[in-house]
Amino acid sequence: HVICGGLQQINQCSSSTMDGIQKPEVVAKEGGVVEMECRLPPTDTGASVSLHVVEWVRQGFDIPVLIKFGVYASRVHPNYEGKSVFILSGAQLGSNLTLRVFHFSPISGLSQHTPPIFTKTPPPVLEALVGNSLSLACVARGNPPPTITWAKDGILIGGDKVEVLSGTLSLRTVRMEAGGRYECLATNTEGNVTHVTKLKVKGPPVIVIPPNDTTLNMTQNALLRCQAVADPPNMTYVWQRQGENVHHIEPLKSRVKIMVDGTLLITRITPDDSGNYTCMPTNGLLTPPTASASLTVRHPAQALLMPQQTYLPTGLGGLVSCPVRAQPPLLHVDWTKDRQPLDLAMYPGWTLTSEGSVFMATVNDDATGVYMCTPYNSFGTMGQSGPTTVILQDPPSLNVSPRKEYRQEVGRTLVIPCQTTGEPAPTVTWSKVSLATSNGSLLLLPLSKDHQGVWECSVTNRVATVKASTVISVLGTSPHAATLVSVFPGFKQANVSWEPGFDGGYPQKFTVCYLLRPKTIQSSWREVKWLSVPVPSSSGSSLQVTGLVPDTEYQFSVLPHNKVGTGPFSEIAACLENYAFSFPNQRLAGIVLQWSPVAQFPPITGFVLQSRAEQGEWFNLDDDISANRTVMIVPDLRKDSVYELRLLSRRGELLSEPSPSVNVSNMGYSRLLEFVPKPLLAGVMGGVAFLCLALILVLGTISLQPSTKAPPQRKYPSSILL
């Protein structure tokens, strides 16, 4: 009696391959053929072959899968009927018995290799709305377990915007470009299978040709293009001017037409057509996109509607304006008074402003009359304005003015009077939004720290505006932020000074905080460290910070505090502590200046260095600096002085406008000034980029001037030597 494959065996049977090598398991394909051999014990030579009962047992089944005794018919388990299960015998069930199972179902205990088969796939065609999330699930079975990958339009999918997990492709946000052919590929050692899904993304239109800014002459036709694509493609185009539909603008609606491709046509344009036009294609999905462009209509200068009366305040300054629209810009304005040409030389204190208005320093009876203006530009004029009659009236007056300063405890009530009279009755407003009483007084209830500062009362009627100001000091609060923080670096030290803010009614103290970071490529701002130094009361509003490290960048801020609490940090002032240069016998050799020019085409031919002291006139220190130089020593500067330096570039006889200036102090030592190439601060138009200071965040555009002289003086914000 032989049990094959059971938990216990009378005679051990084993499974083997066709080559006779025994293996603990049999590997087979579903639908294929499997052989499991059962070796019987050998018989003695010459002995008759004994009959055996052969049973094949499968784990989990109560009865054997197959029972075979001699030449009798096999008994097969009901689950294996029709599976073509039989035994081949030899020599009356001699030395070897083989079980053949044809077209078997998966059998526990057998390691079956099967190619991948999809059990779940997305539909062949799928639509998604732009902006939504999307998941495409792809599940397959097989042995070994298949690996699932995704491709879009033949390219494997990956990246931050796409996630593939357990065969499911997830898009966090569907975009228009997400549409296409998606392939799910399931692969194992036995084969592969592919499923294709076509994704169509629907959403609002996408503008592919936006309108461009356009400048045309009056009476020409204007074409503003706007073309979009969309799915679904049932688009309509809406055009607006200054936010209003062009078909709703009375002077425009009869002269506009929107083409099929979205182009806006405006016929016989007029000066009134100038403005900003917005194209908005829509197909009814989500928020439609927009694209804007400006239309500029060139025309002769045009005088707009003049007021019938112009009221001027007696004894104060007055202005008679000429409302003008001009493109190209206004050149000049001619005036008439009482139908006669106005000669400003006959009226002391009367001048013509750049806008073409007549300004009167002191209004008196000479100002009365009827005025008309005629504006001109390079295209000429569209004629004279209508008349305006100048009428003199007394300006409003303040009956009760606010005091120069009010000091009040926080949380209390503060009333500041501002009472006035005038004809017509003037209106009273304050420079900070608060509750104002009917008589024009300012009521602050309750008084808070935010009310600290300068307030202004404005009294206005059609004649003039009269103003009065006052300072409100709120007591019993934490101090206010320090201002005007400046840093003057020295050798391994820096002098920090500031303007104290209001102390809140109590004595305040200060702490100087500074941040340092080594200037190395490997360093990062995560490595920074804040340090703080208390300011002794005897130091007032300045402190000398010592122990600074050369070639290190520092940032400084001042923190005030009093008995109530800590105030806010001041704005940050920065400095770059470079190596200082020493010279024999403490003799000052000069200021070391270094810059980093940018390669340009056409190239510049040189630089010009200018200097001035104490806001005086600019003069050239060196007007022939080679274009190849990037460093120089500026000699002959007076010791213990403060200078302003700036650079210009030269191309032949043409000079650029100057770079932003920097203040330089040579109080007993030399400094290295570094002009860092980004952000660019100045340059020559046409490609000559310029120099910049590391801590002046100003962008400038430079124009060429056909002169070898320095350009006119320009005013720049004062800088800190860093």
Both tokens assigned to 171: 């898009």
- Phi and psi of 308, rounded to 5°? -65, -35
Q: Give the pLDDT of residue 518.
A: 52
Q: Give the pLDDT of residue 602.
A: 67
> Does 2.60.40.10 match the CATH number of domain 589-689?
yes
CB atoms within 10 A of CB 55: 23
Separation CA 382–CA 300 (nearest Å): 6
The pLDDT > 70 percentage for the chain reads 72
What CATH topology corresponds to 397-475?
Immunoglobulin-like (2.60.40)
Give domain 114-202's CATH number out of 2.60.40.10, 1.10.10.10, 1.10.3720.10, 3.40.50.2300.
2.60.40.10
Q: Give the pLDDT of residue 684.
A: 29
Least confident of 306-320, 607-621, 687-701: 687-701
**Residue 651: pLDDT band by 50, 70, 90 thresholds?**
confident
- The whole-number average pLDDT for the span 297-321 is 95
CB atoms within 10 A of CB 285: 16
Is residue 299 classed exposed, middle or buried when 0-12, 13-18 and 19+ CB atoms within 10 A define those classes? buried
Q: What class has domain 210-299?
A: mainly beta
For 346-374, what is each residue's pLDDT tens digit? 999 999 999 999 999 999 999 999 999 99
CATH superfamily, domain at 304-393: Immunoglobulins (2.60.40.10)
Architecture of domain 2-112: Sandwich (2.60)
Separation CA 424–CA 422 (nearest Å): 6
Does the pLDDT at position 522 exceed 80?
Answer: no
390 with 342: CB under 8 angstroms?
no
Q: Give the pLDDT of residue 708.
A: 36
Q: Give the pLDDT of residue 642.
A: 74
Q: Give the pLDDT of residue 109.
A: 47
For 473-518, what is each residue's pLDDT tens digit? 999 999 999 998 988 877 788 889 999 999 999 999 999 998 876 5
Where is mean pLDDT largest: 57-71, 319-333, 522-536?
Answer: 319-333
Q: What is the 3-state secondary structure (H, E, C) of 6-70?
A: CCCCCCCCCEECCCCCEECCCEECCCCEEEEEEECCCCCCCCCCCCCEEEECCCCCCCCCEEEEC
Does the pLDDT at position 177 exceed 50?
Answer: yes
Q: Give the pLDDT of residue 298.
A: 97
* Of residues 529 and 319, more confidently modeled: 319
Separation CA 589–CA 639 (nearest Å): 10
Does the pLDDT at position 526 exceed 60?
Answer: no
For 431-479, what is each residue's pLDDT tens digit? 775 555 555 788 888 899 989 888 999 999 988 998 999 999 999 999 9
Q: Give the pLDDT of residue 161.
A: 64
Does the pLDDT at position 524 exceed 60?
Answer: no
Amino acid identity for residue 575 in this structure: C
**Helix residue ranges per DSSP H, 159-296:** 250-253
DSSP 426: P
Does the pLDDT at position 558 exceed 80?
Answer: yes
Exposure letters 108-146 (e unless 16+ CB within 10 A, then b): eebebbbbbebeebbeeeeebebeeebebebebebbeeb
662 with 673: CB under 8 angstroms?
yes
Does the pLDDT at position 58 exceed 80?
Answer: no
* Of residues 519 and 128, more confidently modeled: 128
Q: What is the DSSP string of 587-605?
A: ----EEEEE-----SSPP-
For 209-265, what is each residue's pLDDT tens digit? 999 999 999 999 999 999 999 988 999 999 999 999 999 999 999 999 999 999 999
- Phi and psi of 347, rounded to 5°? -125, 100
Separation CA 169–CA 137 (nearest Å): 6
User: Domain boundaries in the chain?
Assistant: 2-112, 114-202, 210-299, 304-393, 397-475, 483-577, 589-689
Separation CA 574–CA 579 (nearest Å): 16
For 76-105, what is each residue's pLDDT tens digit? 877 776 665 555 443 333 334 445 444 444
Sheet of 442-444, strands arranged across: 414-416, 442-444, 435-436
Average pLDDT score over the chain: 78
DSSP 277: E
Q: Give the pLDDT of residue 87.
A: 54
Q: Give the pLDDT of residue 566.
A: 93
210-299 and 589-689 share one CATH topology? Answer: yes
Of 126, 98, 111, give the one whose Cα is nearest residue 196.
126
Q: Give the pLDDT of residue 585.
A: 30
Q: What is the DSSP string of 349-413?
A: TEEE-TTSPEEESS--GGG-EEEEEEEEETTBB--PPPPEEEEEEPPPEEEEPPPSEEEEETTS-
Does the pLDDT at position 165 exceed 50?
Answer: yes
Q: What is the DSSP string of 99-112?
A: EEEESPPP-TTSEE
- Beta bridge mates, 81: none
Least confident of 313-322, 416-425, 609-618: 609-618
What CATH topology corresponds to 483-577?
Immunoglobulin-like (2.60.40)
Separation CA 704–CA 253 (nearest Å): 45
Does the pLDDT at position 30 exceed 50?
Answer: yes
Q: Give the pLDDT of residue 674.
A: 36
Q: Give the pLDDT of residue 105.
A: 46
Least confident of 326-335, 341-350, 597-606: 597-606
